[in-house]
Amino acid sequence: MDSEIAVDFSPVLKIYKSGRIERLMGETTVPPSSDPQNGVVSKDVVHSPDTNLSVRIYLPEKALAADEKLPLLVYIHGGGFIIETAFSPTYHNFLTAAVSASDCIAVSVDYRRAPEHPISVPFDDSWTALKWVFTHIAGSGQEDWLNKHADFSKVVLSGDSAGANIVHHMAMRAAKEKLSPDLEDTGISGIILVHPYFWSKTPIDEKDVKDETLRMKVESFWMMASPNSKDGSDDPLLNVVKSESVDLSGLGCGKVLVMVAEKDALVRQGWGYAAKLEKSGWKGEVEVVESEGEDHVFHLVKPTCEKALEAMYKFSGFFKGGDK
């Protein structure tokens, strides 16, 4: 029977014995808008016909009438690699607000999700999207908005939670593989990691989560997304901070902002990432900003609260802090 449940991971998803997957959140979508929202217009573009993957592009409406080049934000959504899309109201509203506050052009990346498409598919799809973005570096790519308005000397990658994990790995990969033959460096000015999803089997310091039930809950997203991982949550894709085998010195950008929330189970991972980066020999600048009294991705849940507005101010300030 299709109604028999194999795995009940409520309130996130249910997996039935038939193999059917029912996502219980993050499935609502909203269309792009040619009418300005917060002064921002948006459109969807299919970048990979083979996999039917699209990006949503956001642009300040005032830029349409000008030849002005704007900083470029490439954003990768969170959701434990399992839920949410680039087209959900949550991310549409966040990107609209971020573009308005930062005066940038943005590309919001969608990727195929686990468990149907286990790790490393979300990473590979994100890399494919990033490479597509960089086909516009000489002004002759598929999408006019990127050709006309993207300043490829000011490219910022960002994401939240699992998306922040992917962003880190994109910046590492860009240091080893060129995103475009037209690049002399990685092409990435900086990265903003918002409540990044890094983890390990054991706590990283004395302040880290010790409650085993909570630790298993955090780990369970990874185990569902990467069921064949022989190291579980010590997989180097997830255990970026504590693992001695993970070297951050080759991170392919010059500036990093790590945003954490005080009550988030991942808060110590964010602080630990910044500390490890500073000790690694990496030559850039890293800053950590903590939102007091707040929990994981609170800024997406209650975007108009005081702490979310403070976080957006820091986020947008990253674009105004000079070149790489």
Nearest-angstrom CA–CA distance, 81 and 114? 6
Q: Report the Cα 61 to chain-centroid distance in Å.
A: 24
DSSP string, 76-116: E--STTTS--TTSHHHHHHHHHHHHHHT-EEEEE----TTT
- Active-site option among 88, 100, 158, 161: 161
Q: For residue 283, give every residue at least 6 positions away whose Cβ sits within 8 Å of its Cβ, in sequence order, or none.
A: 254
CA atoms lying within 13 Å on the CB side of residue 309: 3
Cis bond upstream, residue 89 (ω within 30): no
Q: Which helix (H) or strand (E) holds 166?
A: helix 162-174
How many Cα atoms within 13 Å fall on the side-chain side of residue 111? 32
* 209 Rama class: left (phi>0) / alpha (psi -120 to 50) / beta: beta
Q: Report the candidate in 231, 111, 97, 85 with the shortest Cα–Cα distance to residue 170.
A: 111
Annotated catalytic residue 161: yes
Residue 52, burial from CB neighbour count under 10 angstroms (0-12, 13-18, 19+): exposed
Q: Which positions are catalytic? A: 161
